[in-house]
Amino acid sequence: MSMLVFAKHIKNQLDSLPKGWAYFALHGKQGVLYSGYTANLPLKLSVMLAKSEEGGLYAELWTTATELEYNLHSDGMAALIQYKATIAENLPIYQHRILPWANYAYLAFDALRFPFVTVVEHTNDHWFYIGPFRSRFFLADVIDTLSRILKLPYCETSAFPCEKFDRDACRGWCLSLAPAEESQSEHSIEKLETLLKEAYLHPENGILEMVKKTRDEYFNELEFSKAALLDDEIKLLATYRDWLMFLYTAKELEFDSEEFTVKAGKLTHCQYQHRDYHFPTDRTEFRANEALALNMDAVDESRIIYDYLKKKGEIDARRDH
**More confident site: 318 or 59:** 59
With cut-offs at 50, 70 and 90, classify the pLDDT of residue 153: confident
Cα 53 from Cα 215, distance rounded (Å)? 42
Q: How far is CA 311 from CA 245, 248, 272, 317, in A?
A: 15, 17, 22, 10
Q: What is the pLDDT of residue 181?
A: 44
Q: What is the pLDDT of residue 264?
A: 94
pLDDT tens, position by position, 21-75? 999 999 998 889 999 999 999 999 999 988 998 989 999 998 899 889 999 999 9
Establish how many alpha carbons lie within 13 A of residue 85's alpha carbon, considering only the half-sphere containing its beta carbon.
18
Cα 165 from Cα 50, distance rounded (Å)? 40
Q: What is the DSSP letter of 180?
A: G
Cα 301 from Cα 254, distance rounded (Å)? 13
Q: How many residues does the chain have?
A: 321
Contact 229, 246 (CB under 8 A): no
Q: What is the pLDDT of residue 33?
A: 94
**Mean pLDDT throughout 174-183?**
58
Cα 93 from Cα 100, distance rounded (Å)? 15
With cut-offs at 50, 70 and 90, classify the pLDDT of residue 186: low
In order, the DSSP letters of 10-66 are GGGTGGGSPPBSEEEEEEETTEEEEEEEESBHHHHHHHHHHHHTT-HHHHHHHHH--
Hey, what domains does the chain have and what are their CATH numbers? 2-90 (3.40.1440.10), 249-311 (no CATH)
Mean pLDDT (the chain, rounded): 87
Least confident window among 153-167, 176-190, 198-212? 176-190
Q: How far is CA 73 from CA 67, 76, 131, 320, in A?
A: 20, 7, 27, 33
Instruction: With a cut of 80, say whether residue 185 has pLDDT above it.
Output: no
